[in-house]
Structure 1
Amino acid sequence: MLNTPMLFSLSVLAGIMYTSSSVCTMVTMKRTILRDGKLLLGYQFYRMNQVPNVLQCARNCFFRRRCISFNYNIKQEVCELNNARLDSSDMALSSDPDFVYSEIANWDDAIGSGPCSKRPCRICEACYPSQSRYTCVKEELTSCRDVKICTNATSDGHYFIRPVMGTKPFVKIYCHLMSSKYPKDYVTLHKENYSKVPPINNQSCSIIDWNQGKPGVIYYWKIRLDVMNLRVVTNDRTFTNVSCDPSHFGISDEFSNSGKLCKIDSDYGTGVDCMEADCRPRRGQFHINLQGTGFIVQPSVSWLTYGLKPVFTSLHRSPTNEVITGVCGGNCGICRPRTFLFLELKT
């Protein structure tokens, strides 16, 4: 058995010897099967810790028929199983020097030698070998892709899943594009969520200019979620609508935008304004309200300012981290999450 991380492409080897208590098999590689420094995000359905090498990670993938590819963290010995592979134009591998990515179809079938070699279990079951026998164990649905694969569902709508396998609470997720190969996961928001960019000229604290930047309000009714990592895809605007109604900013009708189409492109959880740095109050604002969704904002998530002369006026969190409101701006100034906007399951 290999006991050290593999930092090389396996195509340079003629084969690898895999041993266990019941089998000793030469695994012959078909081609270059490892993508060093790469991983596929957004399609993990299972994560395992303390997996000693990439070969064992591949074996765990082989024993689950819905596993099509995997990410292996060499440094932390973490194996992530994916129910998708790089076969769509809108999919791309992410970069991380600690990872390798591989597709199970490129491995020799001998990787699964033993009682589970013929993949006898159903599509959403795991095969557990034990000497000359095997046990099939049904696994939980962790994403809309799982719902489609495991139940043959094709209708968009709300489904109960367990986004982090092994945790107690189920959550209701809206599955979008269920008739496609790769549905997308969304959290339906029950309260008002928005980002505001005021139409204030950057040379003044009060002059209204609907041609300055991309002012307006963007309202979010659903937010897309990377369910394995509980990371909000903040630039997804599938379930949003925008408004240039001046009343949203306390502006009178005489400063109406006269039917101008909104071009606001602010991300979820982001505030922007383009007034002079000394202007008060700031008018860029974001409002997150996850009440009733089963999620909260991860307490460790913090916001930073970016842009020209940025000013962060306030950031208010509710005690439960379900509601967060930020006010900021600059010339132009932006406040957004330091890295990513992660959620947690509400307990």
Structure 2
Amino acid sequence: MPYTEPQTTAGLRSADTLLMACLDVICLYVGLLLVQSTVTRATSTCGFRRTSYDKHGFVLDISSDVVELLESHTVAGLFECASSVDRSPTFQWFIYNSVDNLCISSTCWAIPMQFVAESNNVLYRKGPPSIPQSCSEVKEMNPTSADGEYWIYPSASTFLGCPTKIYCHDMASESPREYVSLTVNNSGEYPNVQDLTCRGFEKNIAGHVTNFSKIRVDVKVMEVNTTDHTFATGTGAFGVARDCYSQANRGCGPKGTFQVNTKGTGMFIDPQQMWTQFGYAPHTPSVITSESGVKIDILCGGACGGCRPEPLTLFKNFQEVTAQERAVSVTKGNCCGN
């Protein structure tokens, strides 16, 4: 039988416990049913800081696929578990095992949980999230935030709500935009030569090279906006290889290229990403993926034509660690009862 949250809150604060930690006074109010735990931290600068954790039910052991994303330690009890998690403002949940006195949590807020009728593991989640999931939320939490790199916690299923370095642009506007800063050159070349029927007589045409230093993303799904040129030189689209060199099956070409490289971003392209042909007499796309999707070399063309990714989705690279100081961490301070 699935867990059902009790509807009554009577007696929620019938038990008060006072803890001392990090020179702060921590007050936990926990009802007899342990439906809700409320941590209230007294500080010298701001009266009271209040954090609520709601009981969400019993869960099975978390999948081994995400075990590297978890932090766990032994505690004396539920109160110590809640207070230790509360000292890390980016943590949004914890699991307490009363049999082993084990406290489990993570900076990733969307790790999947499988609920059961009863187990030793009980999941508690914060009320309103205190971490930003977009640049608009960064601005909401800190209205003075300027353009720059921030830790964002995308809700996209490929990121599990884990901290991700995102460049927030146009923060002075009402609609900030999200970009990924590329640490390695990402560029495409539309060649300036043509031999449509592959007779060995090339002629010069207008060509161009496009370079991207940042790419715009939709943080809700982590899809790349391939036509945003805010941080690009040239007119080509990101991830699109094209030319006007030759017709397919004529024995020469293509020559249009694009190289994607997400090294250093903490992300990669799905190794199964597909490229779709377009234009007149397009060649079959040549897509070579290496370094587990971090680097992709694309060769396409036609007369005129090429290939494009539809859509181009980013995945979290859990094997690549980005230093904490390389981006600004912003959290919502539940200050003075707010």
Give the structure-1-normalised TM-score.
Answer: 0.51
Q: Deviations over 1:164-188 (max 9, x none)?
A: 3783631111111000000010000
Return the offset for 1:151. Answer: 1.5
Residues 136 and 305 of structure 1: CA distance in aligned 2, closer, same or farther (over 3 Å) = closer
- Partner residue of 1:283? 255
- Partner residue of 2:214? 222
Structure 1 residue 179 corresponds to structure 2 residue 151:
no
Does structure 1 conserve the Cα–Cα contact (< 8 Å) formed by 2:269 and 2:313?
A: yes
Report the residue type matching 1:335 in the other structure: C
- Partner residue of 2:154? 163
Q: In the alignment, which of 138, 141, 144 is matched to residue 135 of structure 2?
A: 144
Report the residue type matching 1:161 in the other structure: I
Q: In the alignment, which of 201, 204, 207 is matched to residue 209 of structure 1?
A: 204
- Partner residue of 2:267? 295
Q: Deviations over 1:212-252 (max 9, x none)?
A: xxx2100000000001100000000000113xxxxxxxxxx
Structure 1 residue 342 corresponds to structure 2 residue 313:
yes
Q: Deviations over 1:245-272 (max 9, x none)?
A: xxxxxxxxxxxxxxxxxxxx32100001
Structure 1 residue 191 corresponds to structure 2 residue 184:
yes
**SS of alignment partner, residue 141 of structure 2:** helix
Unaligned runs of at least 5 residues, structure 1: 1-19, 23-124, 126-134, 243-264
Report the residue type matching 2:182 in the other structure: L
Counterpart CA distance in 1 for 2:225 and 2:313 is 9
- Partner residue of 2:236? 266
**SS of alignment partner, residue 133 of structure 2:** coil
Which segment drifts farther, 174-183 or 303-312?
303-312
Does structure 2 conserve the Cα–Cα contact (< 8 Å) formed by 1:275 and 1:331?
A: yes
Does structure 2 conserve the Cα–Cα contact (< 8 Å) formed by 1:317 and 1:324?
A: yes
Q: In the alignment, which of 265, 269, 278 is matched to residue 306 of structure 1?
A: 278
Does structure 1 conserve the Cα–Cα contact (< 8 Å) formed by 2:155 and 2:161?
A: no
**SS of alignment partner, residue 194 of structure 1:** strand
Return the offset for 1:207. Answer: 2.8
Counterpart CA distance in 2 for 1:271 and 1:235 is 13
Unaligned runs of at least 5 residues, structure 2: 1-5, 9-91, 93-125, 319-338
**SS of alignment partner, residue 137 of structure 1:** coil
Counterpart CA distance in 1 for 2:146 and 2:275 is 37
CA RMSD across the alignment: 2.4
Counterpart CA distance in 2 for 1:329 and 1:174 is 32
Structure 1 residue 322 corresponds to structure 2 residue 313:
no
Counterpart CA distance in 1 for 2:288 and 2:271 is 12
Q: Determine which structure has greater relative contact order: mean sequence separation of CA pairs < 8 Å that are 6+ residues apart, divided by chain length.
A: 2
Counterpart CA distance in 1 for 2:269 and 2:175 is 26
Residues 185 and 197 of structure 1: CA distance in aligned 2, closer, same or farther (over 3 Å) = same
Does structure 2 conserve the Cα–Cα contact (< 8 Å) formed by 1:198 and 1:283?
A: yes
- Aligned residue-pair number: 191
**SS of alignment partner, residue 136 of structure 2:** helix
Residues 210 and 281 of structure 1: CA distance in aligned 2, closer, same or farther (over 3 Å) = closer
Q: Deviations over 1:176-218 (max 9, x none)?
A: 100000001000000010111111235465534234xxx2100
Report the residue type matching 1:169 in the other structure: C
Give the structure-2-normalised TM-score.
Answer: 0.52
Q: Deviations over 1:149-175 (max 9, x none)?
A: 112133111111111378363111111
Does structure 1 conserve the Cα–Cα contact (< 8 Å) formed by 2:246 and 2:254?
A: no
Q: Deviations over 1:80-116 (max 9, x none)?
A: xxxxxxxxxxxxxxxxxxxxxxxxxxxxxxxxxxxxx
Counterpart CA distance in 2 for 1:192 and 1:279 is 31
Counterpart CA distance in 2 for 1:164 and 1:312 is 35
Counterpart CA distance in 2 for 1:203 and 1:322 is 33
Q: Percent identity?
A: 31
Counterpart CA distance in 2 for 1:333 and 1:168 is 38
Report the residue type matching 2:242 in the other structure: V
Counterpart CA distance in 2 for 1:340 and 1:153 is 34
